[in-house]
Structure 1
Amino acid sequence: MQYRRFGRTEWPLSVLSLGTMRSLATADVLQATLAAAIAGGINHIETAQGYGASERYLGQVFQQGIDRRSLYLTTKVQPLPDAASMTAAIAQSLDRLQVDYLDGLAIHGINTWNHVELIRQPHGCMAAVRQAIADGWVRQVGFSTHGALDVIEATIATAQFAFVNLHYGVFFQRNAAAIAAAQAQDMGVFIISPADKAGMLYTPPPELIELCQPLSPLAVNYRWLLSDPRITTLSVGPAVPNELQPGLALANDVGPLNALEQRILQRLVQVETEQLGRTQCHQCHACLPCPEQINIPEILRLRNLAVAYGMQQFGEYRYGMFERAGHWFPGQKGNRCTDCGDCLPRCPTQLAIPDLLRDTHQRLNGQPRRRLWE
């Protein structure tokens, strides 16, 4: 296991962090998973109030012999409208976890401009966070986000946070500017779900496996991320201990990309261009805003991946979240397009966007899936 400085927190974090959203079966399962993570060198544990019984299970585990002081512990609390509510929420997490302090508190899901306004209020939730730091309840504060790039950049610009948790990877590079903004403030960078939401890379399609040979698609994404020294740590979220192994096997290779890895990445770019031709969306986001609140770039990104790399199952998984996940995955589905044409003159490559939206809906709509915490 390799370790990196987590920005200005100065924590030496393992390049893999244990996320607990999926280790929800029982306290015993979580204990076994945590023990395996520690044995593999992981020293950062992340949970959230929204992860079912995860905080309570961790609290039970900490009372059964695992030395909490040898770990960095972060939990997440959603932004609340007033200081009193935030103080109560932080106290609730401490009680559930059965600890006296949190190494990290992340404001969970700053995804909208309304959330940005909540953290800008001088006497709002961040006042409670500052008091919690002064009282020794919390040592460092950061934020997590599934939001648009401009929302992430605005949140970083408030200069209230020492770290950020965000999505980024080979198949989603939109947040590159946010990584640069975080580095400019010496913030720790924590990558969310570099396996599942990055492309269901634990179970990749045959086409993608072939394109990434002799590496696995998961290894390509991990190597691409960990070759970037601005990135501190990647979240791994096993449901059971043996699901840690693929990540642990990659946790020592953090140097620059070698010639083979660069060729694989070039191959992926070339194949995407060849397979999509004039239907390729280049993710400039100039098509937004859409009068029908359709998330055009994300829908067309999923189409890109399905057509170019055979990532059909992943496309169905993510497309099925539209209209079901609120601000965590906003936007209407492609069949909501009314052919108003508002987006067409803004597209620099003159894509037939309404036709591509309908095509994507036909390809990916599938059957709705249960979300993990439902």
Structure 2
Amino acid sequence: MRALDSPAQMAAVLDAAVCAGINHVETAPAYGPAEVFLGAALQRLAQRDLIGRRALVLTSKLLPGTAVESAREQLRALLARLAIPRLDNLAVHGLNTPEHLEWTLRGDGRELLAWAEGEGLVGQVGFSSHGATALIEEALVSGRFRFCSLHLHLFDQERLPLARAALTQGIGVMAISPADKGGRLYDPPAELLADCAPFHPLELAYRFLLDQGISTLTLGAAQPADLAWARAITATPAAPGAWLSPEQRLALERLAAAGRERLGESLCGQCRRCLPCPNGVPIPSLLRLRNLAVGHGMVPFTSERYSLIGRAGHWWEQVDASACQRCGDCLPRCPLQLPIPELLADTHRLLAAPPRRRLWG
């Protein structure tokens, strides 16, 4: 979704990915000209390195909610853009609401996916989700999906138990954007660099997820240089079967300790017992952003995410901290006895900024 300045840029990134040992490419019709550029790059790769091309697993996605015939045409057009007769993996793109899940399991989506598999147009079906944990769990236990793409990050571990459960069932798990949505870790603030030293935050984030057993990481490369960490990590495993060395585990412990020290008694433990909020405030999600901003200096990232609240539809939160009415309903439920209304007000003061647009709407 990022190597879109020209077909040549996409081809260069794909070539670098193959050289780095990457064997999975994921895209979507929603990513502008990505499929067209990628299709041309795949054809060039096949002419030069047929073995390398055949080793690649291809995933693309379709948005939920579309009528069957229209969705069939979208899938045929997707295959044409990629210049392939069959897609290895087809994902429901953004299974974020109960209506999306209903469409997939019992509505037109059910017919579409069964048709696509029956016609041999796709190898297996999965989903990506930015939705609530309970919704993702319902999707995983439905038995319909063979893989999922979730927000799994060093700095957001809420869905890791779901990922582990999926992996034990043989369901592939991909971490969405560990570098960018995981904290803009390609451009870390000084505090974060110091907390992770002598290791780079992005290396620790990648290794942490691999150590958790996550089967695929997305790297979001816009240029060949963005794949340097993939090459380095693959070339230097910590030990046979292990992704974190003892020194790297100590660095993660120091990172957590530094955050606790800066936050002091205002650290939100992310237990979620404060929910539900009568005003619909997603308290844990907002206080997680505050944890990162205050605890690790990640203000550019958290401010960017905060500015998207209410502006990204079902892809992100709809209510920001200013909606807190100080009713006190959450206070007796917090095991840490945090002054939640005051912390929400502080979050809004710290992170509210002029709105930004998402990379893809």
TM-score band (shorter)? over 0.9
Q: Which residue of 2 aligns with 1:224?
A: 208
- Structure 1 equivalent of residue 217 of structure 2: 234
Instruction: Tell me which residue corresponds to 1:71.
Output: 56
- Once the two structures are TM-superposed, the CA of residue 101 in structure 1 deviates from its matched residue by 0.5
**Matched residue, 1:315:** 302
How many residue pairs match? The answer is: 352
| Equivalence for 1:93 | 78
Residue 367 (structure 1) aligned to one of 341, 354, 357: 354
Deviation at 1:371, TM superposition (A): 2.0
- Counterpart Cα distance in 1 of 2:275 and 2:66: 29
Alpha-carbon displacement from aligned partner over 1:261-295 (angstroms, at most 9, x marks no partner): 12112112222222212211111112222233222
Higher helix share: 2
Is 1:339 aligned to residue 326 of structure 2? yes
- The CA distance in 1 between the partners of 2:229 and 2:294, in whole Å, is 27
TM-score normalised according to structure 1 size = 0.90
> Conserved in 1, the CA contact under 8 Å of 2:311 and 2:318?
no
| 1:123-182 Cα shifts (integer Å, max 9, x gaps) | 521221122111110001111111111111111011111111111122111012211220
Shift of 1:338: 1.6
Question: Following the alignment from structure 1 to structure 2, what is the Cα–Cα distance between the partners of residues 31 and 319?
Answer: 34
Instruction: Tell me if the contact between 2:20 and 2:230 (Cα under 8 Å) persists in the aligned partners.
Output: no
Shift of 1:65: 4.4
Aligned with 2:234: secondary structure?
coil
Distance, in Å, in 1 between the alignment partners of 2:226 and 2:252 is 26
**Which consecutive residues of structure 2, in runs of 5 or more, have no partner in the other structure?**
none
Instruction: Give the corresponding residue for 2:255.
Output: 268
Percentage identity across paired residues of the two chains: 44
Alignment of 1:251 with 2:234, yes or no, is: yes
Bigger mean CA offset, 195-204 vs 55-64:
55-64
Cα distance in 1 between the residues matched to 2:177 and 2:86: 26
2:16 to 36, 39, 43: 36
Between the two structures, name the one with larger relative contact order (CA 8 Å, sep ≥ 6). Answer: 1
1:109 is the counterpart of 2:94: yes
TM-score, length of structure 2 as denominator length = 0.93
- For 1:105-254, list aligned pairs within 5 A: 105-121=90-106, 123-228=107-212, 230-252=213-235, 253=237
Q: Could you tell me how far apart the structure 2 residues matched to 1:49 and 1:293 are?
A: 32
- Alignment root-mean-square deviation, CA: 1.6
What is the aligned counterpart of 1:55 among 35, 56, 81?
35
1:190 aligned counterpart, secondary structure:
strand
Paired letter, 1:273: R
Which stretch of structure 1 is more off in the superposition, 54-63 or 42-51?
Answer: 54-63
2:341 — aligned with what? 354
